[in-house]
Every structure is written in structure tokens, then in C-alpha cells.
Structure 1
Amino acid sequence: MSCFKFLKMMMFCCNCIVFLGGSAILGVGVWVKVDGGSFLDILAKLAPQLKQLVNVGYLCIAIGAFLVLIGFLGCYGAVKENKCMLMIFFIIVLLIFIAQIAGAVVILAFSGLADIFITYIRIWAVKSIKDEYGDSSDITTLWDTVMNEFKCCGFNDFDDFTNSPFYNNSLNKYPKHCCKSQSNCFGGDINHSVMGCYNSLLDFLKTNTKILGIVALGICVLEFQCCGLNNYTDFIQSSYHKLKGRLYPKSCCHDPSSPHCDGFDTSDATIYPKGCFNAVITMIKKNSAVISGVAVGIAIIEMLAMVISLTLFINLFRIT
């Protein structure tokens, strides 16, 4: 029984700390959204480097509320010996644990994962053209549709079609998408200005992902001190630009309260010059081991929390 009481005390104390920490974060988030000016004045005196907190008030509210919920479930479940709350606490922590382990694995593999994936796609795409374009109706229709939609030629360029079934069966012709002439498309008729479909797809994504970028970048800017996906020009002609009349949001500025942060001053002294995509990728590659180590450390703590909550849950069943 003494061991049971010790576990109860540990469960209560640890979750009390989580509850208080979550309450503090929640309070900061509410303060920022209700009276950001006074919060910014105090923060400027105590920790000027944290001024960007004013841009993530809602994120602080969400994180704080979640921690308060977790802390409450753990504290109340332990003190009142409530089996239902202890089981809910266990399930939530288990889900977080699984997500963090998956995230740690992905981060460790991230530096090479994208290159491996792109290389695999490239090999498959070129092989499908070399072996089946002009022979398989499905593959031929697929590539014709892609090339017609993106105004491109092959995966890399026109040379992908050399020695393909289409090339061999049509007296060394290339698809019409690769040439200036739509009737006869031989090697001398190739339009070298037509990009490969891989590069064409990248251009398409860069052109049509600004809205998603704007939503995500507001969160990224606090940690990575960046602006836009590539730079501030990503916001030009966006919905934000048309609605607010500014070239960039205040989150792009070194000091959002500065008079120079007027939405038009694009000097490096006023706004962050680097884009968030490169900043995030660089940070992950540079600190992948540290990030994974922290995640594993947190995972160990979560495992202890799960063990304690499950032990209390089982002992309560035995007592009752």
C-alpha cells in the first residue's frame, strides 16, 4: 500500500507541474491576444529576443489548454482514484508517445529521405517511358495527359523517349509535346525551351501553394525567424496583400512594433531576408540528432507516466 501511495504522490506532483506550466502558457496566450501592447512592452525589457511571441498567441492558447487538460486528468485521477480519468490520461499520453516516436524516426531519416524518394520516382518514371511509352496504352495515355497538362516533355527532358517503343516504332520520332511542330517531331525539331515534367511540376507547386504557405509560416516565423516560403515576395498578390494592402505581414519583421515594419520597407534591417522553407530544412538537418534526442527523452518521461497511470488503474481495480 505504501508503494501505491508513493505512485499516487508522484502522479499528482508531476501532473501538477504540467498543469501549472500549461496554465502559464495559456495565460500568456490570452494576454497576448487581449492586450498585446502591454505584453510587448514588458517583454521588450525582459527578453527582447522573444518579441515574436505576439505572433503566436493562438498557438500558446492551444498548447496551454492541452497541457492544462492533461495535468488535470492526471492530478484529479490520482487524488480521487478515478479509474476513468486515469485511463483517459493513459490513452492520450500513449497517442502522443506513438506520434513522437514516429516523428523522431522521420527526423533522423529526413536528411536523406527526400533524395531517396525523388531518386526512386525518377528511376521509375524514366523506366516507364523507356520500356512502355508507345507500347502500353495506359502508360502512354498517362504521360500524354501529364505532358499536355503541364506543357512539358518527359520526366527530365526529351531524351527520356530515345529508344522507347514509341521512338523505335515511329522512325525515331518524339512526342509532339517536345517539338515546335505538331506533325513531325524528329530530333532536329525539338523545342529545347520545353521543360521536363519534374521541373514543370515544381514550378506549378511554387505558383499555387502561396495560401498554404501563408497559413503555415505564421507559426514557423517564431522559431526560425524567416519570411515567406522563399522570401517576402511570396505574399505579393496573395489574399493577404489584397486584403491588407501590405507586401508582407508583421511576423516578417525583426520588431513588429517598429515604425519601419509598415508593410513596404523590404530592407534586411527591417524584415527577415531568408524564407521559411530553407530555414526549416537547414534547422532539421543541422539539429536532427538533438531534436531526436529531446524527443526520445520526452518519450521516456511519457513512458514513466503511462506506467504509473496504468499501475494505479490496475491497483484500483484490485482494491475495488
Structure 2
Amino acid sequence: MAALTGGEMCVKYLMFAFNFVFWLAGTGVLAVGLWLRFDHRTRNLFVAEDAPSGFYVVVCILIATGGLMMLVGFLGCCGAIQESMCMLGLFFSFLLLIFTVELAVGIWGFSVQSKVVDDVTQFYKQTYDKYKQDKEEALKEILHLIQYGLNCCGPFSTPEDLETPEETCPKREGLDVLITKSCPDAIEKFFTSKLHIIGAVAIGVGVIMILGMIFSMLLCCAIRKTQEIV
């Protein structure tokens, strides 16, 4: 079997480098998913009764995709170093699958963005109304975490309408009382800022995946050529 040429060796190590970056990108996607899952401002949305399902699905997809990307990046690195056509073929197949899923999820995510915000807002309002009626400790804890986490108080737009019990809201003094932030507004702002981060990560990952598929095919062709030369 002939050895790879200088240019093909360059492709090999570029393949390794891009897969290492892809592995890091998978770590980033997984980190964003875990951040949304365990952030003190959002974690109760997963365990509470009537929790919004749209947000739960998006976060679970991010976590699963990030973990799979890390696995595939590791597979690509090993395939490049070992010059294994089998591993590189598996890498290309998994990468194409992930890219297709990411594209579909991205389109779906942008299409349901407003629904996710509406679901979370509705969940907050229902929790607020139930706590006013039942005074359950579990509901109080959820309100406390959401309102302290987002630095907001109540579903109302003006302080004059505010009826939320003070024990669930951030403590304010002086003129701060007059500029109390509405929780529905705070929820919308929070998820909009997260969407920008997720979108930026997704675009970067998509570019890396396309480059990875190109380099994997180039390297596979180079390895096959060397195997055919006796």
C-alpha cells in the first residue's frame, strides 16, 4: 500500500483538526442544553405540573445532539489518524444525519419560537393564579425562583395593578418599586436572548459539519487510491 502524498497528509491532519473543533462544538451545544436545563431561572419548567412541553423538547434535542456530536467528532478524529475508511464512512453518515436533523430542528425552532414563549408565559400566569387561590408552598417556590431569577414581579405591566404577595418577589426599595418589571415581558426578553446564542452556535456548527464532510470524503478517496496501488 502506497503512502499518502504531502497534500493528502495535509488533508488528513486538517480532517483531524476539524473533527477536534467539531468535538468542541458538540461540547458547546451540550453546554447550552445543560445550561437551559439546569439554570436556576429555567430548571423548574421541567418538573412543575403543566410545564411547557415545547421548551422541554427543544432543550432535550440540544442535549442529545451535543452528546452525539461529541461522539461523532471523536470517531472522526480516530478515523483520520488511523486512516480507516470504515470509521470515516461512519463519520460522514452520522455527520450528514446530524446536519439534516439540525437543519430541520432549526426551522422548527424558529417556527415555534413564539409558541414556546407563550407556553412559558401561560405556565407562569397559571402558577401565579393557583398560588393566589391555594397558597401552596410548592407554587410559592416556583414563583420565587422565576421572579428572583428574572428580576420581575407579577404578570401586570404597572405597579398599580400588582397584587403578587411580596414574599415571592425580589425586594425593592425607594424608586425601584415604580419600575417593577412585568414577568411576561421578562420571560420574552430572556428567551429572545437565548435564541440568539443558540442560533449563533447552530450556524457555527453547521459550517464545521459541511467542512468535515468535505474533508472526510477527500481523505477517503486518498486512502482508497493508496490501497489500490500495489
TM-score (norm 2): 0.51
Q: 2:212 aligns with which of 286, 298, 305?
A: 305
In 1, the alpha carbon distance for the partners of 2:202 and 2:34 equals 28
Does the 8 Å contact 1:26/1:63 carry over to 2?
Answer: yes
Alignment of structure 1 residues 1-320 onto 2, 5 Å: 1-20=5-24, 22-23=26-27, 52=41, 62=64, 64-102=66-104, 228-230=120-122, 232-235=124-127, 237=130, 244-246=138-140, 248=142, 252-255=146-149, 264-265=168-169, 269=180, 272-274=183-185, 298-320=205-227
> How many residues are paired up?
183
Q: How far did residue 75 of structure 1 move?
A: 0.8
Unaligned runs of 5+ in 2: 46-58, 152-165, 171-176
Does the 8 Å contact 1:51/1:255 carry over to 2?
Answer: yes
Superposed CA RMSD in Å reads 5.4
Does the 8 Å contact 1:253/1:271 carry over to 2?
Answer: no
In 2, the alpha carbon distance for the partners of 1:30 and 1:99 equals 19
Whichever residue aligns with residue 126 of structure 2, its letter is: D
Deviation per residue, 1:26-49 (Å, 9 max, x gap) = 68988999xx8xxxxxxxxxxxxx
Radius of gyration: which is bigger? 1
Q: How far did residue 96 of structure 1 move?
A: 2.8
In 2, the alpha carbon distance for the partners of 1:283 and 1:61 equals 15
Q: Which structure has the higher relative contact order (CA within 8 Å, separation 6+)? A: 2
In 2, the alpha carbon distance for the partners of 1:312 and 1:21 equals 22
Partner of 1:117: none
Partner of 1:168: none
In 2, the alpha carbon distance for the partners of 1:256 and 1:283 equals 13
Does the 8 Å contact 2:12/2:80 carry over to 1?
Answer: yes
1:283–1:55 Cα change, 3 Å:
closer
